[in-house]
């Protein structure tokens, strides 16, 4: 039977002020090998992150995404599905692991089935499964993305190319935080002055990331009043680390819903990060992934 290999990047959403809108693709990847078989049933093997923890049957998120895609395309569900997942994206850390799984499943189903689904429909289905487009947009497209939904709740995105000097650093704790828990801490309404503040900072951040990645500009551009301080009680150590890094001049934010911290390393801040972190965190210097999800058939590589 035909086999497809999918590689999907980690992502960081929000980037401080761009709540539910901005996302960045990172050079950390999950890899999924998917095959449709004549042998009935689902077989999933998982290596790396989530091994021994995640469902290895119908409840696996990649399988769910594949099933939903087959149904959306109007093609029969396959007799059997075999998956081999090599995971490097930490789970429940604010680095888009669920978005990566959803995108991998949708793209695998599209590649293996005889049905058709456009790139826009892939994006819409991934957003539907995730609930919001901020992580799935950079996962699919790569680079820096701005995502939004129109009045009909249809998602859209614009992909931008960050300045080549942008070097994201992720600081990953051992603790986890479910996105649902983090979202549950947000108020239904925010002060108008805070919304206005974030609108200005989000616009400034686009300029800083694409044209002027200077420390002073990035530090101002990553300020936020809409979500991070509301979520701080659920990840006090992450909030404290963000405060310490910003106090020494490092542009730092909570990655997505947390608890990972994302910092932007510049030539004059790269030596300031490690002393503020300590030994209980994993520090990893990243590149911005420029292309997003990648689909390959082994026999044609």
Q: Is 143 annotated as a binding residue?
A: no
The tokens describing 224, both together, are: 């936020």
Q: Is 262 annotated as a binding residue?
A: no
Query: Do 100 and 8 meet the contact criterion of CB atoms below 8 Å apart?
Result: yes
Q: Is 234 annotated as a binding residue?
A: no
The tokens describing 186, both together, are: 């947000």
94 closest CA partner among 241, 244, 250: 241
Q: Is 118 annotated as a binding residue?
A: no
Q: Is 100 annotated as a binding residue?
A: yes
CA torsion angle for 122, 125, 129, 134 (degrees, to 10)?
60
CB atoms near residue 61 (< 10 Å): 20
Q: Is 98 annotated as a binding residue?
A: yes
50 closest CA partner among 82, 9, 86: 86
The tokens describing 17, both together, are: 């002020």
Q: Is 174 annotated as a binding residue?
A: no
Q: Is 154 annotated as a binding residue?
A: no
Cα-based angle 244, 169, 49 (whole degrees, multiple of 5): 110
Q: Is 41 annotated as a binding residue?
A: no
How far is 259 from 115, CA to CA, in rounded Å? 39
Q: Is 204 annotated as a binding residue?
A: no
Q: Is 65 annotated as a binding residue?
A: no
The tokens describing 226, both together, are: 């809409």
Q: Which residues are annotated as a binding site for ATP?
A: 90-100
Q: Which residues are annotated as a binding site?
A: 90-100
């Amino acid at each position: 039977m035909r086999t497809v290999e999918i590689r999907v990047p980690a992502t960081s959403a929000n980037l401080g002020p761009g709540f539910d809108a901005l996302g960045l693709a990172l050079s950390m990847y999950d890899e999924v090998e998917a095959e449709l078989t004549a042998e009935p049933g689902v077989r999933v093997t998982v290596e790396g992150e989530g091994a021994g923890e995640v469902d290895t049957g119908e409840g696996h998120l990649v399988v769910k995404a594949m099933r939903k895609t087959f149904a959306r395309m109007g093609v029969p569900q396959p007799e059997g599905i075999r998956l081999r997942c090599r995971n490097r994206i930490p789970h429940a850390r604010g680095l888009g692991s669920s978005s990566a799984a959803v995108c991998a499943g949708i793209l695998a189903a599209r590649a293996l089935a005889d049905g058709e689904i456009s790139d826009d429909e892939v994006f819409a289905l991934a957003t539907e499964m995730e609930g919001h487009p901020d992580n799935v947009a950079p996962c699919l497209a790569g680079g820096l993305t701005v995502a939004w939904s129109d009045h009909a709740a249809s998602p859209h995105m614009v992909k931008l190319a960050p300045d080549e000097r942008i070097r994201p650093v992720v600081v990953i704790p051992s603790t986890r935080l479910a996105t649902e828990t983090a979202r549950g801490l947000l108020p239904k309404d925010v002060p108008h002055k805070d919304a206005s503040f974030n609108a200005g900072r989000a616009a400034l951040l686009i300029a800083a990331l694409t044209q002027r990645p200077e420390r002073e500009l990035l530090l101002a551009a990553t300020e936020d009043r809409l979500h991070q301080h509301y979520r701080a009680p659920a990840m006090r150590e992450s909030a404290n680390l963000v405060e310490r890094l910003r106090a020494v001049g490092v542009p730092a934010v909570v990655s997505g819903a947390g608890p990972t911290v994302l910092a932007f390393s510049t030539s004059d801040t790269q030596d300031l990060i490690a002393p503020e972190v300590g030994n209980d965190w994993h520090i990893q210097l990243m590149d911005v992934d420029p292309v997003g999800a990648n689909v390959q058939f082994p026999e044609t590589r």
